[in-house]
Amino acid sequence: MLRPLATATLAALVLSAAAAPAWAAQKRMVSYDSASPAAKRLTGAGLTFVFTKSFFRTRVLAVRATAVPVGVVPHPSSDGATNRKLDALMGADAGNGTLYEIDPKAAEGKVMIQAFCPGSKTGWLSIGTIAPHRDLRVHAFGDDPTTGEPRLCATMDFTFRGEWRMPGPINDGVTDRVFRPDYGKPGS
């Protein structure tokens, strides 16, 4: 009795492991509406995220203001010392998000850093768990213009709006299309 069950379990694990790379490579897009006063003030209607999701993690590929053509391509923050400082600044939310660095030289990175943290030259986002029908909290950080140390600039809350079908073929330069000024307009 146990041998057939063990064989079936092993087969299921092997099949799911084989399917994981294809599933993990799939890009998805979700939008969130601004819920908190800080989110409304800093993002207007809300934020849209392009991401990939695997069994163990979600990786944000692009963050775009939903109603205006401003967005960034964030990179996972890999500086351990800075990450510890950012995590400590989140208080009760410490450890409840993935830290990303905003590149001020890429796309509208500098614009988004200034929008979230006026006076800062470097910016980071801590993005909570992206999941359907689940609210989201995003912390925005910037460097202090006088000390250069990280500072918490805003804590923004969002409500789930919806998941959208990615335009065109899944792996066909979708990030570039999402950042085009005419994205979402007929014929684009």
Token pair 């510890």 in the structure block, residue = 84
- Quote the CA–CA distance of 97 and 142 in Å, as a whole number: 16
Query: Is 35 exposed, middle or buried (CB count within 10 Å of its CB: 0-12, 13-18, 19+)?
Result: middle
- What pTM value is reported for the model? 0.76
Domain boundaries along the sequence of the chain: 26-178
pLDDT tens string 124-155: 999 999 988 999 999 999 999 999 999 999 99
Between CA 9 and CA 83 the distance in angstroms is: 39
Instruction: Report pLDDT digits (tens) over 27-45.
Output: 889 999 999 999 999 999 9
